[in-house]
Amino acid sequence: MSKQCQVTGKKPCKGNSYARRGIAKKKKGIGLKITGVKRRRFQPNLIKKRFWFSEENRFISLRLSKHGMRIIDKLGLGAVVRKMRSEGQKV
């Protein structure tokens, strides 16, 4: 199962993690120096959630981000499921 939100399509993205050393100029030092750069992944905040879908009298399990849950709260589960099915997702 991929780490992707079924509603918003959010996926992990890549970035850097910086190791810094030194005393900040604000604290009367000579500044922070970057001593190492490491690649990392930023993961979406995914949750597996079960919703009661009253139009079909059954539960629907979705893997969504917190932003996807806010979209369901705003638009309603029925509208979101219809949009997902029109895009070709199996729900």
Report d(CA 4, CA 25) in Å as an integer: 41
Q: What is the pTM of this model?
A: 0.77
pLDDT digits 0-9 by tens, 54-72: 999 999 999 999 999 999 9
Report d(CA 85, CA 22) in Å as an integer: 54
* Paired tokens of 60: 């629907």
Which pLDDT value is given to residue 91? 86
Q: Does the pLDDT at position 1 exceed 70?
A: no
Q: Does the pLDDT at position 2 exceed 80?
A: yes
pLDDT digits 0-9 by tens, 16-53: 999 999 999 999 999 999 999 999 999 999 999 999 99
The second-level CATH assignment, the architecture, of 13-86 is Roll (2.30)
Cα 35 from chain centre: 30
Domain spans in the chain, listed from the N-terminal domain onward: 13-86
**Nearest Cα to 68, choosing from 2, 5, 12?**
5
